[in-house]
Amino acid sequence: MGRQLSAEWIKLRSLQATWLMVGLGVIGIVAQAIIALVTVKDHDSQELALGVMSGSGVTLLIVALLGVTAAAGEYSQKSIITTYTVTPKRWRVLLAKTIVVAGVALALGLLSVPLSRVVAAIWFAFGEGSWNASFGDAVHYAIGIMIAYVGFSVVGVMIGTLARSPALGVGIAFGLLVMIDPLLGSFSFYSEYSLSGVSQTLLDPDNRQSNQPLFGSAISLLALYAIVLAAITRTVESRRDVQG
């Protein structure tokens, strides 16, 4: 498995698109913090600190799209033929790719709260306000954000593997995560199970709305969705032709 992980990491890091998306993800984190600093009136409140620390929805979408493009790009470029020739067990390739993309998403998630805190510190240094959140709050947010980013990156890899085309995969992921799921989430029967509800709970756990799942439920739901999608992807991938 170490070989596949190494190969997938080399493949991911050797594409400029990866670093462009990581850069956009970092910008998303900074933008989220700045938006909270600009919009929250009370600059000494806990509300401001939590708003600054909350995870970026843009970055969440970007890690999902990173997964989509990393997986689908291999098929559209046909380099998957080489990959499967060297590693005929396709599930190993899928697992390695998922772990590597999830690792990048985890790194972004790990960076989110400290980077937001730095942005706030710089903001406070040039204006008024103070940080009003505990270390426990920061850990809570960091865990939620990391889980959300990792989960959505896994979903992205699966969508990309199933779609086999970056354009189609991005379209599906964008349509699902930005349009269909939030739309369905507006209905009460689905809102507690929606990916948008799950992401809102994980990205901003202390501001959970009544129609969103609890923190633990959100983690379980995201894990369930990712595992089911991974199982479907593995089954489909093991049965279809490489160039099908």
Residue 98 Cβ, how far from another protein at the closest point, in Å? 16
Residues sharing a CB contact under 8 Å with residue 188, sequence separation 6 or more, in sequence order: 211
Nearer to another protein, 45 or 76 (CB): 76
Answer yes or no whether residue 161 interacts with another protein by CB under 8 A: no
DSSP secondary structure, 48-96, as one string: HHHHHHSPPHHHHHHHHHHHHHHHHHHHHTTTHHHHHHH---HHHHHHH
User: Of these, 1, 77, 114, 227, which contacts another protein (CB under 8 A)?
Assistant: 77
Taking CB under 8 A as the binding criterion, the range among 30-38, 45-53, 69-77, 112-120 that sits at the site for another protein is 69-77
**Nearest CB to another protein, comparing residues 11 and 140:** 11
* DSSP symbol at 23: H
Task: Examine residue 30 and tell whether it contacts another protein (CB under 8 A).
Answer: no
Residue tagged 């559209």 (tokens): 76
Q: Which stretch binds another protein (CB under 8 A): 4-12, 113-121, 162-170, 182-190?
A: 4-12
Contact by Cβ (8 Å): 68, 166: yes
Smallest gap from Cβ 74 to another protein, in A, equals 7
In whole angstroms, what is the distance from residue 202 CA to residue 140 CA? Answer: 9
Q: Is 240 in the site for another protein (CB under 8 A)?
A: no
